[in-house]
Amino acid sequence: MLGALSLLALLLPAALVHAAPQADPSTAAVRAIFEAFHIPEDAHLTFAPTTLLGLTFPEPGAAPVVPFTSEQLPRNATAGPPRFALSDAHASVGRGPFVVAAVDLDAPTPQDPTSAQIRHFLGGDFVLHTGGALANTTPALTEFHQPTPPAGSDPHRYVFLVFKQPPGFAQQTLVNASTSIANFNISSFAEATGLGQPLGGTFIRVGPDPSS
Ligand SMILES: *[C@@H]1O[C@H](CO)[C@@H](O)[C@H](O)[C@H]1NC(C)=O
Ligand SMILES: *[C@@H]1O[C@H](CO)[C@@H](O)[C@H](O)[C@H]1NC(C)=O
Ligand SMILES: *[C@@H]1O[C@H](CO)[C@@H](O)[C@H](O)[C@H]1NC(C)=O
């Protein structure tokens, strides 16, 4: 039985290679890393992924950054907006539509997350394209906000999740463009809108800018 730490050690060399897109090894590995970082309990979710959610940060004039799950990125690599993809999809996930959400579980600090969750992205109507790319066909409910942990904070966990979109999702009234992004609750939002549990996910860790 591979412990969480040896699992991370296996993944570490990938941190050195940002040039080529890379994928997480398996849904079982991603699930183990989510558990090692207490994400299911802190987000009040059941995380039993059947697909791998790919996350890519385009970098102007440089190779895109494709983090592995749990990787710590420098803040300036996370300007986004990120691109999403699905791979290793169990046939049952279908071709969409999907909802993608991103939340910060650790605002303002992991020790005292009084304003968590911060909703960093929420969008529906994502459909799967040939090759695995996900693209939305309608504007996001919450456009992407770059991670901005405050000076002095430990790194935050930014969790990206993909859900099957239920019929009628477009009619939800809990979140619109003027809804505060603070004190969001992805678990209660998923429950209220019929998203169910996530089909897949990934997360990155981002600390404050060295200059801040
Ligand atoms: C981020 O900042 C570091 C240090 O200033 C720099 O070396 C790196 O090139 C920057 N990366 C991006 C994507 O801007
Ligand atoms: C947006 O959602 C908020 C609740 O977050 C609600 O109070 C407000 O009326 C909504 N605005 C519109 C235009 O629907
Ligand atoms: C978020 O919602 C879940 C129910 O889905 C609840 O158990 C949990 O306490 C809520 N978290 C916060 C911080 O309100």
- pLDDT on residue 1: 36
Q: How far is CA 89 from the centre of its chain?
A: 17
> Sorting pLDDT into bands at 50, 70 and 90, what band is 11?
very low
Is 59 near ligand 1, meaning CB less than 6 Å away? yes
Mean pLDDT of the chain: 89
> For residue 5, what are the contacts with CB-CB under 8 A and spacing of at least 6?
36
Q: Which two tokens stand for residue 93?
A: 């996930």
Q: Which two tokens stand for residue 176?
A: 């619109």
Contact present, 185 and 117 (Cβ < 8 Å)? yes
Share of the chain above pLDDT 70, in %: 86
The preferred substitution site among 142, 171, 173 for testing ligand 2, maximizing ligand atoms within 8 Å of CB, is 173
The pLDDT tens digits for 137-180 are 899 999 999 999 999 999 999 999 999 999 999 999 999 989 99
For the CA of 77, the nearest atom of ligand 1: 13
The preferred substitution site among 176, 181, 185, 193 for testing ligand 2, maximizing ligand atoms within 8 Å of CB, is 176
- pLDDT on residue 22: 56
Of 160 and 23, the structure prediction assigns the larger pLDDT to 160
The pLDDT tens digits for 50-82 are 999 999 999 999 999 999 999 999 999 999 999
Cα–Cα distance, 64 to 93 (Å, whole number): 27
